[in-house]
Amino acid sequence: MALTITNVKVLVTCPDRNYVLVKIETSDPGVYGWGDATLNGRELAVAAALEQHIAPLLIGRDPDRIEDLWQMIYRGTYWRGGPVLMTALAGVDLALWDIKGKRAGMPVYSLLGGRTRDGALAYTHCSGRDFAEVEDSVRAAMARGFKAIRVQVLVPGMSGTYGVSNQPAERYSSFDMEALPLVERFEPSPYLRVIPKLVEHLRVALGDEIELLHDVHERLTPIQAARLAKELEAYHLFFLEDPIRPENKESFRLIRQHTTIPIAMGELFHTRWDGLPLITEQLIDFIRCDLGHIGGISEARKIAAIAESFYVQTAWHGPGDIAPMTHAANVHVDLSIANFGIQEMVFFPEVAQEVMPGAPTFADGYLNVTDAPGLGTDVNEALAATYPYKRAYLPVVRRVDGSVGDW
């Protein structure tokens, strides 16, 4: 009897923050796969899409046919993509690759063509309220083995900026059913003044060898981004991330005309077509889609293949608000493609590791996965059930005049 999908289970759990996990079970009780369908701040919308709309389509199907099921879910809606549906699709895609690997007795990177490298160059996040704090944090990361580090600093006079907050820690970590989004005040002018000084400080203090990165988090206009890029050029960043918002691809031309700084973009894209002109016109150097938000491994492979032809390298999104399955999927793809650039990573808190074991491991600057069949990740379902969902939001960014940022 051919193997069929018998059940699609959706589990929303909050060990330290919310995660949406998808389990696909098959007619062989020993063969199942786990995927991640977490969309920070809109978790239950994805869970409902999976449970109410997508799961019924999968029951009775052959789990071996990943591409066909992907196309059926993607095109079958008629409406196409969007973050909620592409995150749901990614959860299914990852679970199906996990199943395929387990059945083959091979790690997913092997199914994707086998290793092209021994490990995936990783970068971590360092931040602080002033230059000295950032420097201390970078030195600690270097001591831990990191060769590439993203640096963010509090903008003087602001309550927080992307990557660093001056708010009491409990405002960020406390989950509360009544909690509404934090408001983060941000002004481009003081930000534009402080970032080149930060990077200059770090280069003087730490030398040229350590790779430094910076995430603008889409908070500049194109001409402001061009100014920042030009002023940072001398300090040789590995890349400048998300300099402008994602909607208008033409704006990247303006930045490109003014600077040779390497540019990374992609965590807000939800289909390959979002980023296509940036790749084919060589307006960016790193494509950093989120595998968990763009339809999973199947779509990432296609994006990487297109990017390879245009000298664009990958830098898949790897924040703490996607589950270990997506981090593992990142590394399986990183290890098997030719045009891998760098991999963003986090260390999961212990409680999250207990619920979702098997995240990639870090040693001496590089990430790796084991030879375990599939993605190498699993879920302790009984433990996950003891951490129920708690509503939480990403912060909302407002200018000093009270308006929502329009950059």
Catalytic (active-site) positions: 162, 217
- In whole angstroms, give the CA distance from residue 340 to residue 306: 13
User: Can you read off the two tokens belonging to residue 401?
Assistant: 């005049």
CB-based contact 348:356 (threshold 8 Å): yes
Could you give the 3-state DSSP secondary structure of residue 348? Answer: coil
Instruction: Give me the least distance between CB of 200 and ligand GCO, in Å please.
Output: 23
- Which of 338, 394, 396, 400: binder of ligand GCO (CB under 6 A)? 394
User: Can you read off the two tokens belonging to residue 347?
Assistant: 């260390």
| Number of helical (H) and strand (E) elements in the chain, helices listed first | 15, 17
Binding residues for ligand GCO, total number by CB under 6 A: 9
- Which of 344, 352, 355, 373: binder of ligand GCO (CB under 6 A)? 344
User: Among 109-117, 174-182, 313-321, 377-385, which window interacts with ligand GCO (CB under 6 A)?
Assistant: 313-321
Residues 315-334 that bind ligand GCO (CB under 6 A): 317, 319, 321
Residues 16-55 that bind ligand GCO (CB under 6 A): 40
Instruction: Give me the least distance between CB of 41 and ligand GCO, in Å please.
Output: 7
Indicate the helix (H) or strand (E) that contains 8: strand 5-13
DSSP structure string for 14-82: -SSS-EEEEEEEESSTT-EEEEE---TT-HHHHHHIIIIIIHHHHTT--TT-HHHHHHHHHHHTSS---
The alpha carbon of residue 72 and the mean position of all alpha carbons in its chain are separated, in whole angstroms, by 25
Instruction: Give me the least distance between CB of 159 and ligand GCO, in Å please.
Output: 17
Instruction: State the binding string over 179-218 for Mg ion (x if CB under 5 A, else -).
Output: ------------------------------------x---
Residues 200-229 that bind ligand GCO (CB under 6 A): 215, 217
CA distance readout (Å), 82 to 134, 174, 268, 272: 36, 29, 10, 12
Nearer to ligand GCO, 330 or 336 (CB): 330
Instruction: Give me the least distance between CB of 50 and ligand GCO, in Å please.
Output: 19
Instruction: Give me the least distance between CB of 116 and ligand GCO, in Å please.
Output: 24
- In whole angstroms, give the CA distance from residue 45 to residue 42: 6
Binding residues for Mg ion, total number by CB under 5 A: 1
CB-based contact 243:259 (threshold 8 Å): no
Pick the closest to residue 68 from 43, 47, 49, 96 (CA basis).
96
Instruction: State the binding string over 215-254 for Mg ion (x if CB under 5 A, else -).
Output: x---------------------------------------
299 binds ligand GCO, rule: CB under 6 A = no
Binding site for ligand GCO (CB under 6 A): 40, 215, 217, 267, 317, 319, 321, 344, 394
Question: Which residues of this chain interact with Mg ion, rule CB under 5 A?
Answer: 215
